[in-house]
């Protein structure tokens, strides 16, 4: 049976001449062990932001920055083509195709400026250009390095609904089309190099898959082919025990369970988005996170179930993460006691502001509900709550709706916590010893994590103190 590997390269992995060279070497190396390979690429680092900024400016009638955007995009892509594609015909053809895409950005932005607005559909078309440029560049670079490859846009086989900017794939149709498009190429010994992040509706309108979209593309392709493994190449050695900028002793985790990484991603660690993981978990496919700039490092492997009660080297806590720039919002009042529907109305008000709530805690006395929201959303949330509960506030059933200054949510993750008594005690002892004051606590029923809220000023102290539970 021929083994199949899907490898996804992030924006920094394809962002420079040296990085692209490394990618070609990694693919060459993978060919020794894998007979069938699919490559998924992101846009070059910084390109998607530039595209979206150009469209946003155009929606306000500003097109004077377009010539600068044009030249920046050429400066990003053309020197890499000149340096890495020796075959002159291939090089000029690649540059011409990329130039056509750059010019289409200009046309799109001018159309947006005339309309005075950028619809979600238009934004997806603009956002897709980065991947569509980089797939042509990477395909040509890989070919020129002596590896048979073909650039192919995923719009031809990842079929989604029309929920622009956060589209959902139709897995049945996507499975048929992906196999029909990619298997014949691999049968001929050709490596398909395809775009991450984008798909298309059944009618062919380009869509994007939302946050973490390129990782999600790799997971979808890996699941539907199906591949044996999916490797995500990025610019770190894998999933780390905490942010190395806070704790220099942070280490790469050799392996982590799916439930742990979902918690870490949710609570601010820059690892895989939980949505990304799902197709791979459902298909039972191996997943690895590796470093393009340190390919010898084995990275982090995702595993379905933890060993020995979830302990790794005898450690119950695996990782610590922090989300900064949050506020705690509290609704309190004795009149809430026993009144049904208060929480439903409260979160209806929050939802009306399109705010996501990462943490909720409620006292059993029902006299207060407390939850976290991002700082920039806090005032609109307070306004919405005061409006919804205006009568209760007037009648003094609700005493007040208020928010704290900036806080951080610190999350301790480890699947072994489920089977180990006293972990919460250790966590709070560590924090007590470090003089970090805990404002709120939440633990999910999965028991894979404990989250607590501390003042913004205590963030680094708390992370360092809790990280000691891993390194002790």
89 by Cβ neighbours in 10 Å (0-12 / 13-18 / 19+) ranks as: exposed
Q: By C-alpha distance, which of 144, 130, 25 is closest to 92?
A: 144
| Phi then psi dihedrals of residue 255, to 5 deg | -150, 155
- In this prediction, residue 313 carries a pLDDT of 47
- In this structure, is residue 278 part of a structural domain? no
**In the 3-class helix/strand/coil scheme, how is 10-64 assigned residue by residue?**
CCCCCCCHHHHHHHHHHHHHHCCCCCEEEEEECCCCCHHHHHHHHHHHHHCCCCC
Question: Does 97 fall in a domain?
Answer: yes
The whole-number pLDDT of residue 412 equals 92
The total domain count for the chain is 2
Decide: 405 and 455 in contact? Cβ < 8 Å: yes
In a domain, 355, yes or no: yes
Give whole-number Cα distances, 13 to 26, 139, 172, 403, in Å. 11, 14, 31, 41
Choosing from 181, 204, 235, the residue where a domain stops is 235
Do 170 and 315 have their domain in common?
A: no
98 and 187 both lie in a single domain: yes
Q: How far apart are the first and last CA of the chain?
A: 45
What local confidence, expressed as pLDDT, does residue 39 receive?
98
Burial class (CB in 10 A: 0-12, 13-18, 19+), 88: exposed
Residue 295 lies in a domain: no
In angstroms, what CA-CA distances link 220 with 79, 178, 195? 32, 10, 12
Taken in order 460, 466, 470, 471, is the CA torsion positive or negative? positive
Both 53 and 186 in one domain: the answer is yes
Q: Are 359 and 327 in contact (CB under 8 A)?
A: no
Same domain as 315, residue 198: no
Residue 127 lies in a domain: yes
CA separation for the pair 319, 450 (Å, rounded): 11
Q: Is the dihedral of CA 79, 80, 86, 87 positive or negative?
A: negative
CA distance 364 to 352: 26
**pTM of the predicted protein model:** 0.84
Per-residue confidence (pLDDT) for residue 243, from 0 to 100: 87
235, 251, 281 - which closes a domain:
235
Q: Show which of 235, 265, 282 is a domain's final residue.
A: 235
Separation CA 289–CA 302 (nearest Å) = 8
Domain that holds residue 438: 306-472
Whether residues 326 and 177 fall in one domain = no
Whether residues 200 and 310 share a domain: the answer is no
Between CA 173 and CA 197 the distance in angstroms is: 18
Give the pLDDT score at 366: 61
pLDDT at site 364 = 60
**Are 171 and 84 in a shared domain?**
yes
Q: What CATH code is carried by the domain that includes residue 56?
A: 3.40.1160.10
**Cβ distance 250 to 240 under 8 Å?**
yes
The CATH number of the domain where 324 resides is what?
3.30.2130.10
User: For residue 292, what are the CA distances in angstroms to 17, 25, 255?
Assistant: 13, 10, 18
Q: Which of 111, 92, 130 is nearest to 14 (CA)?
A: 130
pLDDT along the chain (472 residues), means of 10: 92 96 97 97 96 96 94 98 97 98 97 95 97 98 97 98 96 98 98 98 96 90 96 90 89 88 73 78 90 94 64 70 94 81 91 91 76 95 95 90 95 84 86 91 78 94 92 64
The answer to whether residues 346 and 224 belong to one domain is no
Residues 230 and 311 in one domain: no
Note whether residue 275 is domain-resident.
no
pLDDT for position 205: 97
At 281 the pLDDT is 82
Query: Of 12, 455, 468, 450, which is closest to residue 246 (Cα–Cα)?
Result: 468
SS (H, E, C) the chain: CCCEEEEEECCCCCCCHHHHHHHHHHHHHHCCCCCEEEEEECCCCCHHHHHHHHHHHHHCCCCCCHHHHHHHHHHHHHHHHHHHCCCHHHHHHHHHHHHHHHHHHHHHHHHHHHHCCCCHHHHHHHHHHHHHHHHHHHHHHHHHCCCCEEEECHHHCCEECCCCCCCCECHHHHHHHHHHHHHHHHHCCCEEEEECCEEECCCCCEEECCCCHHHHHHHHHHHHCCCCEEEEEECCCCCECCCCCCCCCCCECCEEEHHHHHHHHHCCCCCCCHHHHHHHHHHCCEEEEEECCCCCCCCEEEECCCCHHHCECCECCCEEEEEEEEEEEEEECHHHCCCCCHHHHHHHHHHHCCCCCCEEEECCCCCEEEEEEEHHHHHHHHHHHHHHCHHHHHCCCCCEEEECCCEEEEEEECHHHHHCCCHHHHHHHHHHHCCCCEEEEEECCCCCEEEEEEEHHHHHHHHHHHHHHHHC
Residues 330 and 222 in one domain: no
| Assigned domain for 257 exists | no
Tell whether 116 is covered by a domain. yes
Question: At how many degrees (to 10) do helices 423-433 and 459-471 cross?
Answer: 130
């Amino acid at each position: 049976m021929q083994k199949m590997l899907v490898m996804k390269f992030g924006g920094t992995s394809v962002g420079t001449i040296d990085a692209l060279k490394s990618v070609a070497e990694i693919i060459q190396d993978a060919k020794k062990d894998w007979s069938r390979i699919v490559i998924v690429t992101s846009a070059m680092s910084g390109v998607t932001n530039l595209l979206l900024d150009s469209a946003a400016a155009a929606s306000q009638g500003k097109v004077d920055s377009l010539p600068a955007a044009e030249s920046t995009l050429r400066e990003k892509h053309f020197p890499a083509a000149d340096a890495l594609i020796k075959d002159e015909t291939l090089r000029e053809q690649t540059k011409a195709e990329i130039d056509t895409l750059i010019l289409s950005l200009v046309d799109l932005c001018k159309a947006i400026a005339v309309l005075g607005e950028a619809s979600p559909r238009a934004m997806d078309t603009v956002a897709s250009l980065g991947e569509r440029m980089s797939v042509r560049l990477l395909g040509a670079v890989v070919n020129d390095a002596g590896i048979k490859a073909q650039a192919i846009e995923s719009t031809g086989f990842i079929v989604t609904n029309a929920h622009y900017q956060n589209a959902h794939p139709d897995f049945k149709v996507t499975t048929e089309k992906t196999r029909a498009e990619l298997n014949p190429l691999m049968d001929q010994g050709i490596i398909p190099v395809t775009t991450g992040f984008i798909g298309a509706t059944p009618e062919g309108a380009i869509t994007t898959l939302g946050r973490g979209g390129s990782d999600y593309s790799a997971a979808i392709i890996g699941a539907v082919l199906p591949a044996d493994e999916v490797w995500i190449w990025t610019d770190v050695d894998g999933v780390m025990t905490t942010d190395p900028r806070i704790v220099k002793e942070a280490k790469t985790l050799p392996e982590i369970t799916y439930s742990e990484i979902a918690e870490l991603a949710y609570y601010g660690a820059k690892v895989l988005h939980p949505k990304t993981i799902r197709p791979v978990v459902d298909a039972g496919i191996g997943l690895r996170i590796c470093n393009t700039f340190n390919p010898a490092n084995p990275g982090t492997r995702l595993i379905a179930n933890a060993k020995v009660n979830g302990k790794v080297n005898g450690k119950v806590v695996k990782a610590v993460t922090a989300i900064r720039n949050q506020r705690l919002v509290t609704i309190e009042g004795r009149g809430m006691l026993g009144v049904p529907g208060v929480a439903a109305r409260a979160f209806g008000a929050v939802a009306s502001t399109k705010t996501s709530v990462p943490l909720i805690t409620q006292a059993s006395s029902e006299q207060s509900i407390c939850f976290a929201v991002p700082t920039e959303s806090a005032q609109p949330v307070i306004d919405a709550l005061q409006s919804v509960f205006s009568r209760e506030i007037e009648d003094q059933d609700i005493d007040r709706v208020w928010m704290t200054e900036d806080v951080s949510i610190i999350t301790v993750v480890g699947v072994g916590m489920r089977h180990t008594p006293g972990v919460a005690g250790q966590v709070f002892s560590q924090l007590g010893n470090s003089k970090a004051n805990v404002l709120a606590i939440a633990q999910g029923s999965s028991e894979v994590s404990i989250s607590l809220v501390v003042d913004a000023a205590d963030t680094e102290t708390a992370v360092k103190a809790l990280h000691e539970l891993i390194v002790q």
